[in-house]
Structures are given as structure tokens and as C-alpha cells.
């Protein structure tokens, strides 16, 4: 009888075809049919989830027996959709309605259990599965306790540094414009988050130079003794036909991934209670998982976390030991207050302990920036990071989440820590920053890079730098090698725009200065007439930088002629950068926006997309259309 049953079972099994993996795709929008990014799409009853990208799209593979998809996003009503054999599920989410009763009598929240590590005495090792021996060996001990921690409430406490836009300068009195480069691009992805959620963009969240530098421009490759190329182009300004626009671009030398030096990385991860949202810690873990897959055997990574205390959850480990790294990331849970200062100090100690001479030594801080225990104010954080950067350890800061983003703190940490700052609003952005731009994000080819442009008053009545307000330097800082400036990574591009009022313009509203008491002639506008045999140049551009391990700088210069291109003669790189700058000025409601409109931005950007291999420029156009 058993033999007959076995034969029947064998026949049934062999008659079944191979199991086909079902894939569900779809798009999530708001009531205005605008895409929602960062929406968590969860298979009910499992821990299988994905997040929507910048276009609101998602792809998920349901497990056998799955019946329902759950769509959730803070500030929106949670939706449940039956699968029922469907392979395409599009949903439209509505904002959460708050009635008067809701405000007076908040609904009770479900308290969840979180494993929170406490620092005891001088302990620096958090107890985790398989790590008890390490704690004992270090002479310290740690204990873990279960706390009932309520999920953080959606109170908006985001903070941004104030921006006072650069105004026009008269080259007779201010011939020099001096500033540090900026390769950060956090502002653009943060602005995208606001627009995709249908929210008003705070003016100080818009840093125009970061929006421009989010996009790559096809500048010539670097050749010769310097680690970057220089590109210039001057044309008619799109938002003011009576002005010129000067486009200046740098491109760092490209380095093949296999030729990159070994890395000593410390992942410094915020696991405080404020990170308990799907678009914070879960997205963070997925982002670091992408980076972990890029690491090589010669690379090393340690993981430090901080909540109420700071601790090590993974000692420095070879980069090809992915299973151990991924397990350490997967075990992270959120809960507690935020001792960010203690976490930074511990991360620096771990990085210094495992320093690779001639390698890439870097801390990657991932947080919403909400430091509230220990060293937490901006001045103290700046001082701490400035003291530690002399160790040769660079800093990359990744911002996550919404509602309590401390953008000002994160920008300071990255700036003063010789590093860069990116805002991760979805997994697609994490892939761009940590995979596609792996070299530029993590490997520095030049540090303390400074611009100094001298304008010729014979051809320039006044000028203004578009953006870079928090990167301005005193003129004397250009030759001072002790003054900190921006770092440039492999393959990075940096773009700066100047709006120029040509000499001879009688435009009203430009800055006026009283005649000098002790100098004569300079206040006379006729001094702008070119001197005999004077060069026909708009300006002279000087660049100063240091090699990554050097203490002294190098300098070189380029001149810009007086040829001004007409609107139909400018390149795609010129027009697209101008479109992004126009959009930034519109979002800021800038007094310098001139005639720029959102329609103009769409037209200008649509005509200058170029090849757009990754689709980022097309996404920008869609973003402007959504804002419109």
C-alpha cells in the first residue's frame, strides 16, 4: 500500500510544472495624480516590502499564499489592495484627515517592543547575537533591556540654515569673487521629496548650487598635471536678455573601480526612536546593503550605532564578508534618544584604529540629523568635526526621512569633515549615490578646492554668483592654506553660474557706492573704457587645491574671452544648468528670477536633455511639471 501511495505522490509531483515567480508592478499617486515616492508597499502578514521610487513606481514579488498589499506613507491614509491574481496594481492615496476631535482626543498608539542598548561605564560594544565574547574581551560590558517605546509622532521640526542670496557686486570695488566648491546635492533630492508629496518647498531648503550640481555635465576629461578639467561658456542669460550668463565647469579625473585604493569605512548609523519610519531605518538598511555589495576583499567596514548610547555592532571586517555585514545591518532596530556626538567620537576612534595609510578612510553617517543628547548644537558639532578631520578621515553624510530633518546640522558635519552630503529619499537615490557614483561619493582626488574670479570692469558693470551663499570666502582666504574648502571626488563635476550686467548698461537698481575720500578716479564710470592694448577678457579664473594627502596647495588659472553666444548657439550643458537655476530661483521666489516661469523652465530643459542615459533630466522635467 505504501508503495502505491508513493507512486501516486511521485506522479503528482512530476506532473506539476515549474513554479512561476509572479511579479506585481504599479504606481502610487496622490489625489492630484502626482507620483508619491517613499511609499512602503508591504505584503500583509510578511516582512516583504519595497518602496516607491521618485516616479511613484514599485515592483514586488509576492510570496506564495499572499493575498493583500498594504500601502503606507506618513501623512497619508493607509490602503489595502487585494492581489487576487492581479499583476498590475495602481493606487491613489489621500492625505490623512484630522478632525477637531482628532486634535483634542488623539487616538491611543500601539506601543511596540524595541531592543535598546545601554552604555554602562566606558562600554563601547553593544551586545548583539554572537558578540558577547567581544564585550568581555574589551574589559567592558553591555546590557540590553526591552522598553515599551511608542512610535515617534509626526511633528514637523525640520530645520534649514538661513540663506541670504548673493547680490550684485561692482568690479571696481569688488574685483574678486572667492568661494569654495560644493559637490553636495542633498538639496535637489530633498526638494524632489517635497514636490512629490505635494508640499510647499521651504525657501531655505533650496540651495541652487546643489540643485545644479545634482546633474552631470559632459565636460572634457581631465588631462595633464591637474586632477580636473576646466570648462567655460558665456551666453545671453535666459531669464534676463539684457544680461550675460557665465557657465564655469570642473570635471574630476575618472578612476576605474578596480584601481581605487583600499577603503577603511565606518558606517555610523542612527538607530534612535526618530528613525522608526519606513523611509528612515528600513530604507537606510537597504541603502547600506547596496553599498556593501560594492565592497572588495581589500576594503574593510565597521558598524557603529547610536541611540541613548553609542556602541560597536560590527568590528572592522573585510568587505567581501558580505553575509556578516548584511546580518549586522539586518539586526538593527530603532528606539531611544539620540546621542549623536558620542556616536561621532566613537566612529572617529574606530576609523583611526583601522587607518589605512594612502587609502580611503571615511565615516559614512546615516541619520535624520536629530541629535538631542550630549554634543548636539551646531557650534559644538562643527568644533568636534573640525578637530577630528586632521586624522585624515573624511566624512560622508546621508540624510533620511521627513518631519524632523536637521539639514543645517548635516551640512555642517559634511562641510567641516572634508566630505559630502546627500539626501536619500528612495532606494533609487541610494543606488545613484552609493553605486553609480561610488567613486565620486567615497574617493577624494583633491581637497580644499577654491575658486577666485577677477572680473574686468571694462566689460563688466556688475556680477553676481548664483548660489554658493554658504560657501563664500574672504578674498585673502584664497592664498591661505589653513582655510578649509570643498573636496572633489573621482568623476565629480562642479558647476558655477555668474549673472553679468555688461559694461555700458544704464540699468536701474544696481548697487551704488559713494565716491571715495582718499582715492580718485575709480568712481568715474569712464574708467571702464578698455585701456590701450588691454586684453579682451570678461574675467580671469584662478583655482587652488591640494592633493588628498598634501598640506600645501597648487594653483592655476584660465581666462574667459568676451565672445557671448546667442540663445540658439549655447550648448545643452549651458541651457540645462540655466533651467535648473531658474527653477531654484522660482522656488525661492528670488528677486533675481527676472522673467523666468515654470513654463520657461520646462521648455529650456526639454530642449537640452542631451543623451540623458539615466533619465535624471527627464525626471527633472516631470518634477517641474508637477510643481507647475
Nearby residues of 488 by Cβ (< 8 Å), 6 or more positions away: 181, 183, 227, 228, 250, 252, 444, 445, 446, 447, 449, 494, 545
Whether pLDDT at 561 is above 80:
yes
Could you tell me which of 86, 63, 64, 73 has the C-alpha nearest to residue 28?
73
pLDDT tens digit sequence for 250-281: 999 988 877 888 999 999 999 988 888 888 99
Euclidean distance between CA atoms 235 and 232, whole angstroms: 10
Q: C-alpha 181: how far from its chain's center? A: 15
Element holding 411 (H helix, E strand): helix 407-416
Average pLDDT in the 491-511 region? 88
Where do runs of H (alpha helix) occur along 87-207?
A: 100-104, 132-137, 186-196
More confidently predicted of 524 and 48? 48
Q: Which of 105-109, 168-172, 569-573 comes out lowest in average pLDDT?
A: 105-109
Domains of the chain, by residue range, sit at 22-92, 176-255+446-505+535-627, 258-438
Whether pLDDT at 342 is above 50:
yes
pLDDT tens digit sequence for 359-383: 889 999 998 877 654 555 667 777 7
* Inter-helix orientation angle 616-627/572-588, to 10°: 30
Q: What is the dihedral of CA 33, 185, 206, 472, to 10 degrees?
A: -170
Print burial letters for 91-126: b (CB count within 10 Å at least 16), e (below 16).
bebeeeeeeeeeeeeeeeeeeeebbbbbbeeebbbb
Euclidean distance between CA atoms 605 and 585, whole angstroms: 15
Residue 37, helix vs strand vs coil:
coil
State the chain's maximal CA–CA distance in angstroms. Answer: 117
Compute the chain's Rg from CA coordinates.
27
The reported pTM is 0.75
281: left (phi over 0), alpha (psi -120 to 50) or beta: alpha
pLDDT tens digit sequence for 414-456: 888 888 899 998 888 998 988 888 777 778 899 999 999 999 9
Per-residue pLDDT, 277 = 84
Confidence of residue 107 (pLDDT cuts 50, 70, 90): very low
Q: Do domains 22-92 and 258-438 have the same CATH topology?
A: no
Whether pLDDT at 201 is above 50:
yes
Confidence of residue 352 (pLDDT cuts 50, 70, 90): very high
Whether pLDDT at 353 is above 80:
yes
Superfamily the domain 176-255+446-505+535-627 falls into:
Gamma-adaptin ear (GAE) domain (2.60.40.1230)
Of 2.60.120.620, 3.40.50.410, 3.20.20.140, 3.40.1030.10, the CATH number of 258-438 is 3.40.50.410
Whether pLDDT at 3 is above 90:
no
pLDDT tens digit sequence for 316-335: 999 999 999 999 999 998 87
Per-residue pLDDT, 178 = 98
Class of domain 22-92: mainly beta
Amino acid at each position: 500500500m505504501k508503495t502505491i501511495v508513493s507512486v501516486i505522490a511521485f506522479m503528482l509531483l512530476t506532473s506539476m510544472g515549474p513554479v512561476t515567480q509572479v511579479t506585481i508592478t504599479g504606481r502610487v499617486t496622490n489625489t492630484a495624480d502626482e507620483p508619491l515616492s517613499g511609499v512602503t508597499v508591504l505584503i500583509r502578514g510578511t516582512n516583504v516590502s519595497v518602496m516607491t521610487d521618485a516616479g511613484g513606481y514599485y515592483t514586488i514579488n509576492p510570496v506564495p499564499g499572499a493575498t493583500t498589499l498594504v500601502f503606507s506613507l506618513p501623512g497619508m491614509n493607509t490602503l489595502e489592495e487585494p492581489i487576487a491574481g492581479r499583476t498590475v496594481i495602481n493606487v491613489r492615496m489621500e492625505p490623512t484627515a484630522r478632525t477637531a476631535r482628532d486634535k483634542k482626543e488623539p487616538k491611543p498608539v500601539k506601543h511596540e517592543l524595541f531592543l535598546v542598548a545601554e552604555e554602562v561605564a566606558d562600554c563601547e560594544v553593544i551586545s548583539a547575537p554572537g558578540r558577547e565574547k567581544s564585550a568581555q574581551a574589551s574589559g567592558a560590558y553591555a546590557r540590553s533591556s526591552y522598553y515599551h517605546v511608542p512610535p515617534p509622532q509626526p511633528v514637523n521640526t525640520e530645520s534649514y540654515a538661513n540663506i541670504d542670496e548673493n547680490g550684485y557686486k561692482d568690479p571696481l570695488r569688488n574685483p574678486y569673487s572667492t568661494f569654495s566648491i560644493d559637490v553636495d546635492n542633498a538639496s535637489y533630492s530633498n526638494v524632489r521629496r517635497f514636490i512629490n508629496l505635494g508640499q510647499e518647498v521651504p525657501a531655505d531648503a533650496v540651495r541652487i548650487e546643489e540643485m545644479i550640481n545634482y546633474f552631470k555635465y559632459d565636460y572634457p576629461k581631465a588631462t595633464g598635471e591637474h586632477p580636473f578639467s576646466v570648462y567655460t561658456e558665456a551666453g545671453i542669460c535666459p531669464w534676463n536678455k539684457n544680461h550675460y550668463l557665465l557657465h564655469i565647469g570642473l570635471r574630476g579625473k575618472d578612476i576605474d573601480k578596480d584601481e581605487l585604493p583600499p577603503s577603511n569605512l565606518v558606517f555610523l548609523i542612527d538607530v534612535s526612536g526618530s528613525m522608526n519610519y519606513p523611509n528612515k531605518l528600513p530604507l537606510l538598511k537597504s541603502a547600506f546593503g547596496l553599498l556593501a555589495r560594492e565592497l572588495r576583499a581589500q576594503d574593510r567596514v565597521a558598524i557603529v550605532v547610536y541611540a541613548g548610547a553609542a556602541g560597536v555592532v560590527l568590528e572592522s571586517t573585510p568587505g567581501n564578508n558580505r553575509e556578516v555585514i548584511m546580518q549586522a545591518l539586518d539586526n538593527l532596530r530603532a528606539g531611544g534618544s539620540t546621542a549623536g556626538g558620542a556616536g561621532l567620537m566613537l566612529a572617529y576612534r574606530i576609523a583611526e584604529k583601522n587607518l589605512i595609510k594612502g587609502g580611503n578612510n571615511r565615516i559614512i553617517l546615516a541619520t535624520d540629523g536629530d541629535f538631542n543628547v550630549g554634543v548636539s548644537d551646531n557650534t559644538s558639532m562643527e568644533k568636534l568635526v573640525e578637530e577630528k578631520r586632521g586624522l585624515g578621515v573624511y566624512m560622508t553624510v546621508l540624510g533620511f526621512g521627513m518631519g524632523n530633518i536637521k539639514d543645517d546640522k548635516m551640512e555642517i558635519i559634511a562641510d567641516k569633515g572634508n566630505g559630502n552630503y546627500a539626501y536619500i529619499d528612495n532606494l533609487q537615490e541610494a543606488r545613484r549615490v552609493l553605486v553609480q557614483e561610488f567613486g565620486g561619493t567615497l574617493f577624494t582626488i583633491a581637497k580644499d578646492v577654491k575658486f577666485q574670479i577677477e572680473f574686468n570692469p571694462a566689460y563688466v558693470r556688475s556680477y553676481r554668483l548664483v548660489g554658493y551663499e554658504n560657501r563664500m570666502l574672504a578674498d585673502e582666504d584664497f592664498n591661505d592654506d589653513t582655510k578649509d574648502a570643498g573636496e572633489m571626488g573621482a568623476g565629480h563635476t562642479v558647476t558655477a553660474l555668474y549673472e553679468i550686467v555688461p559694461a555700458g548698461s544704464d540699468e536701474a537698481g544696481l548697487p551704488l557706492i559713494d565716491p571715495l575720500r582718499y582715492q580718485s578716479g575709480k568712481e568715474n564710470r569712464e574708467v571702464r573704457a578698455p585701456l590701450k592694448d588691454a586684453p579682451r577678457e570678461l574675467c580671469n579664473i584662478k583655482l587652488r587645491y591640494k592633493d588628498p594627502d598634501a598640506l600645501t596647495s597648487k594653483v592655476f588659472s584660465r581666462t574667459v574671452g568676451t565672445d557671448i553666444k546667442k540663445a540658439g548657439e549655447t550648448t545643452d550643458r549651458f541651457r540645462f544648468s540655466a533651467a535648473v537655476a531658474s527653477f531654484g530661483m522660482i522656488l525661492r521666489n528670488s528677486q533675481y528670477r527676472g522673467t523666468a516661469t515654470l513654463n520657461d523652465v520646462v521648455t529650456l530643459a526639454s530642449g537640452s536633455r542631451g543623451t540623458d542615459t539615466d533619465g535624471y533630466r527627464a525626471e527633472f522635467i516631470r518634477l517641474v511639471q508637477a510643481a507647475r
